[in-house]
Amino acid sequence: MPPPFLGNILAITATAAEIIFGFMLLTGYKTRIAAWGTFLLMIAFALTMTFSVGPKAPLNYAVWTCAGAAALLGSVTRYKWSVDNLK
């Protein structure tokens, strides 16, 4: 059984990652890193939801779709509207 404080640490880490990746995606900064980070975060959420409440919940909330969209964005080689293109 994991220690009780581990849940709080994971919740804070996931929330911080959501905020950081969301800001990076909105501003177009390091888009590829943000997209793959978002993909991993979405996969973690989808698997957690699947194992805790069943397979219907992540499908109802389109978590798998968001994970697929993040993976698609991460696989793009050039981002036309990204801040990274400014030189």
Q: What is the pLDDT of residues 17-70, one digit of tens each?
A: 999 999 999 999 999 999 999 999 999 999 999 999 999 998 999 999 999 999
pTM of the model: 0.88
Q: Whose CA is closest to 37, among 76, 74, 78? A: 74
Q: How many CA atoms lie within 13 A of 18 on its CB side?
A: 11
